[in-house]
């Protein structure tokens, strides 16, 4: 096989010519089989090197592998370029109208405004070191009234028109029953907010028979009315803006003494009572908006749980209660309480993203 090197050159030339003119990837794959496959002449030549005289083995082996490598590289280049061309062509024909609307991703829904507001209130008090607790809405008279210093026959029972299920069981008229339930279950100190539903037998433009409240309770050794003012100021600023002020007005609740109502400075007129020359419609010109009722826990209430560490001579504290609907309506300028209970998706979709 003295002409082996020459034959290698012929194969290289022939194969390269064929590769260069091949028009498709499939054709190139055929050429790979023909020139580099198991039955190809080049493969055979390389396989039979061992039969050559020793002095020819080197040149033929080296030359053969060079040809093989060159052809493989050439094939790969051609396949790559043909594939790119084929892809370009396919993409050209695969065009769409890019001006049509895109597919909407699954649209998120919305939490109810009451839920969103409840969570916002909870979060303020969590940050102030309060826990969150909930309790039953179908409640014993004992927890709703008696242990909150409304004994049977107490005129304050007239304040809340109550739904009864039996002589002893009612729908709670406030979230306050959890004050006593919590103090029965946990020794002082206690720092707690209680969100939940409450019920009163009332149905008009500003009352719904079911509504939502957040109760607050803090009992410790030395909590003062000034502390109550500080906590509620933080709350008012978190909910209504950093510039808000609050004011306490004396009031009466059977389960707090002293009792106060709490106003926040109007966030629409800045507390001036006026928008330009006109009277502010939100605070009715007073500069203040009532947001909650509050006070120092009445010693009689502590007396009901004195056995659990709430000796009124040793501990004291404050309690407050607010309507979630009212806070939500004020914060979000919702004009009508009814909107919160109509479940109109056009309303629901405005809040709680």
Partner 1 sequence: MRVPVRWLREYCDPETDAAGIGDRLDLTGTELERIERLGVGGREGFVVGKVLSAEQHPDADRLRVCAVDDGSGGEPRTVVCGAPNVAAGQTVAVALPGAVMPDGTKLGEAELRGVRSSGMILAEDELGIGPDHGGTLELDDGLAAGTPLADALPIDDEVLELEVTPNRPDCLSVYGIAREVHAATGAPLGDDPTLVETIATGDDQAEDHVAIEIADPEVCLRYTARVYEDVTVGPSPAWLRQRLTAAGQRPISNIVDISNYVMLECGQPIHTFDLDEVRGARIVVRGAEQGETMTTLDGVERAFDAGMALIGDAEGPTGIGGVMGGQVSEVSDTTTRVLVEAATFVGPNILKTSKALNLRSEASTRFEKQLHPENAMAAQRLTSRLMVELCGARLVPGTIDAYPDPQEPRVVELRMERVLGLLGKAICEDEVVGRLESLGFAVERGDGTLSVTVPYWRDSDVQREADLLEEVARTHGLDKLPVTLPARRRAVGRLTPRQRLRRRLEDALRDRGLHEVVGWSFTSPQKLERARLGDLPTPPLGEHAARVSHVLHLANPLSEDQSVMRPMLLPGLLDAARENRARGAGGLALFESAHVYLASGDLDAPEGSPGGAMPAAEGHHLAALLTQAAPGTWRREPVAADFYAAKGLVEAIGSVSGVALEFARGDQPYLHPGRTAVVSAGEHRLGLVGELHPEVADSWDLDGGAVFEMDFDALAAAAPTVETFSDVTSFPVVRQDIAVVAPADVEAGAVRATVLAAGGDLLADAQVFDVYEGEQVAEGNRSLALRLEFQARDRTLTEAEVNERRGAIESALAELGGRLRG
Q: Rounded to the nearest whole angstrom, what is the least distance from the CB of residue 205 to partner 1 in the complex?
A: 15
- Does residue 147 touch partner 1 according to CB under 8 A? yes
Nearest distance, CB of residue 270 and partner 1, angstroms: 18
The residue within the footprint of partner 1, chosen from 3, 94, 205, 250 (CB under 8 A), is 250
- Residue 173 CB, shortest distance to partner 1, in Å, is 13
What CA–CA distance (Å, rounded) separates 189 from 134? 18
Q: Which stretch binds partner 1 (CB under 8 A): 19-27, 85-93, 272-280, 335-343?
A: 335-343
- Neighbouring residues of 196: CB distance < 8 A, sequence distance ≥ 6: 134, 135, 137, 175, 178, 212, 213, 215
Should residue 345 be labelled a site residue for partner 1 when binding is judged by CB under 8 A?
Answer: yes
Q: State the DSSP code for 166.
A: S
Q: Closest approach of Cβ 162 to partner 1, in Å?
A: 8
Residue list 217-236, contact with partner 1 (CB under 8 A):
218, 220, 222-227, 229-231, 233-234
Hey, which residues between 187 and 206 contact partner 1 (CB under 8 A)?
A: 189-191, 197, 199, 201, 203
246's enclosing H/E stretch is strand 246-253
Site string for partner 1, 91-110 (x = CB under 8 A): ---------xx-xx-xxxxx
Is 64 or 294 the residue whose CB approaches partner 1 more closely? Answer: 294
CB–CB of 149/255 below 8 Å?
yes
Asked whether position 278 contacts partner 1 by CB under 8 A, the answer is no
Q: Which stretch binds partner 1 (CB under 8 A): 63-71, 176-184, 236-244, 326-334?
A: 176-184
Instruction: Yes or no: say if 283 and 273 are a contact pair by the CB < 8 Å rule.
Output: yes
**11-19, 22-30, 34-42, 126-134 -> range binding partner 1 (CB under 8 A):** 126-134
Spell out, one character per residue from 25 to 54, where the chain touches partner 1: x when CB under 8 A holds, - when not.
------------------------------
Q: Which of 4, 282, 339, 348 binds partner 1 (CB under 8 A)?
A: 348
CA dihedral 49, 51, 54, 55 (to 10 degrees): -70
Output the smallest distance, CB 301 to partner 1, in A.
11
Nearest to 215 by CA among 191, 184, 240: 191
How far apart are the C-alpha atoms of 166 and 112, rounded to whole Å? 32
- Helices marked H in 172-291: 177-185, 225-240
- Judge contact between 352 and 328, C-beta under 8 A: no
Alpha carbons 218 and 227: distance in angstroms, whole number: 10
């Amino acid at each position: 096989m003295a002409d082996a090197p020459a034959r290698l050159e012929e194969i290289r030339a022939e194969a390269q010519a064929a590769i260069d003119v091949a028009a498709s990837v499939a054709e190139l794959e055929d050429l790979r089989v023909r020139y580099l496959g198991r039955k190809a002449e080049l493969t055979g030549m390389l396989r039979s090197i061992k039969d050559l005289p020793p002095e020819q083995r080197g040149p033929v082996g080296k030359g053969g592998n060079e040809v093989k490598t060159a052809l493989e590289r050439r094939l790969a280049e051609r396949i790559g370029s043909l594939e790119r061309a084929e892809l370009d062509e396919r993409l050209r024909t695969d065009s769409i109208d890019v001006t049509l609307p895109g597919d909407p991703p699954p649209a998120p829904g919305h939490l109810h405004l009451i839920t969103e507001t409840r969570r916002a209130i909870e979060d303020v008090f969590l940050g102030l070191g309060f826990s969150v607790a909930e309790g039953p809405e179908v409640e014993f008279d004992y927890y709703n009234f008696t242990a909150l210093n409304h004994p049977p026959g107490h005129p304050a029972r007239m304040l809340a028109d109550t739904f009864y299920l039996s002589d002893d069981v009612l729908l709670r008229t406030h979230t306050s029953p959890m004050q006593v339930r919590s103090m029965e279950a946990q020794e002082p100190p206690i720092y707690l907010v209680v969100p939940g539903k409450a019920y009163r037998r009332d149905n008009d433009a500003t009352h719904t028979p079911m509504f939502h409240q957040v109760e607050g309770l803090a009992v410790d050794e030395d909590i003062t009315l000034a502390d109550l003012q500080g906590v509620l100021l933080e709350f008012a600023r978190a909910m209504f803006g950093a510039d808000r002020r609050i004011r306490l007005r004396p009031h009466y609740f059977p389960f707090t003494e002293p009792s106060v109502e709490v106003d926040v400075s109007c966030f629409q007129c800045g507390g001036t009572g006026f928008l330009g020359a006109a009277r502010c419609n939100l605070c009715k010109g007073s500069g203040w908006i009532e947001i909650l009722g509050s006070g120092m826990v009445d010693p009689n209430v502590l007396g009901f749980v004195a056995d659990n560490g709430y000796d009124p001579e040793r501990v004291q504290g404050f309690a407050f209660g607010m309507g979630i609907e009212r806070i939500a309506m004020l914060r979000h300028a919702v004009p009508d309480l009814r909107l919160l209970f109509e479940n109109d998706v056009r309303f629901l979709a405005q809040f709680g993203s």
